[in-house]
Amino acid sequence: MEALLGVIIIMISVRILPYLVHKIAPNTLHQKNVKVNIFLEHSQNIENTLSEIQEFFEDIKHIKFSGVDLGHKLELECKLPKNAEKISTYYNRINSLAGVVSVEIESNQPRFRNINIKI
């Protein structure tokens, strides 16, 4: 009888509790953040590029600008929308913007883990 009760408690803690915690957890635990590094040509207007990039993401939390030999480097920490698409879709959209030389996208979220796209 005690063994059966032990098995039931283990099953509840392994199967049901993680599901409940995921459903009840605050919205911040459900957010998916990515780090995006974008290299732009010298002639490219940074403000125009940022306004185009903001359309792809729900929020841009952190922005860092720096100059490199090739042009400008933008380091962004972005929050993906709740109905986020694949990382490769965001990569292709950003890479197709005018003046973009290269793009790097990195995510530590479980759904996108170990995806680091560079060109």
Total number of domains constituting the chain: 2
Residues 59 and 97 placed together within one structural domain of the fold: yes
* pLDDT for the residue numbered 31: 63
Residues 96 and 73 placed together within one structural domain of the fold: yes
Residues 109 and 55 placed together within one structural domain of the fold: yes
Q: What are the tens digits of pLDDT across the range 20-58?
A: 777 776 655 556 788 889 888 887 788 888 888 888 888
Residues 55 and 77 placed together within one structural domain of the fold: yes
Please check whether residue 87 is in contact with residue 105, taking contact to mean a CB–CB distance below 8 angstroms. Answer: yes
Distance CA(52)–CA(103), nearest Å, equals: 14
Total H helices, total E strands in the chain: 4, 5
The Cβ-side half-sphere exposure at 23, using a 13 Å CA radius, reads: 5
pTM above 0.85, yes or no: no
CATH number at residue 60: 3.30.70.60
Please check whether residue 53 is in contact with residue 60, taking contact to mean a CB–CB distance below 8 angstroms. Answer: yes
* Range of the structural domain that residue 48 is part of: 31-118
Distance CA(14)–CA(8), nearest Å, equals: 10
Residues 57 and 114 placed together within one structural domain of the fold: yes
Q: What are the tens digits of pLDDT across the range 79-111?
A: 887 777 778 888 888 888 888 888 888 876 555
Residues 16 and 41 placed together within one structural domain of the fold: no
Residues 44 and 79 placed together within one structural domain of the fold: yes
Contacts of 10 (CB under 8 A, 6+ apart): none
Q: Which stretches does DSSP call E strand in the chain?
A: 33-41, 59-68, 71-79, 100-107, 116-118
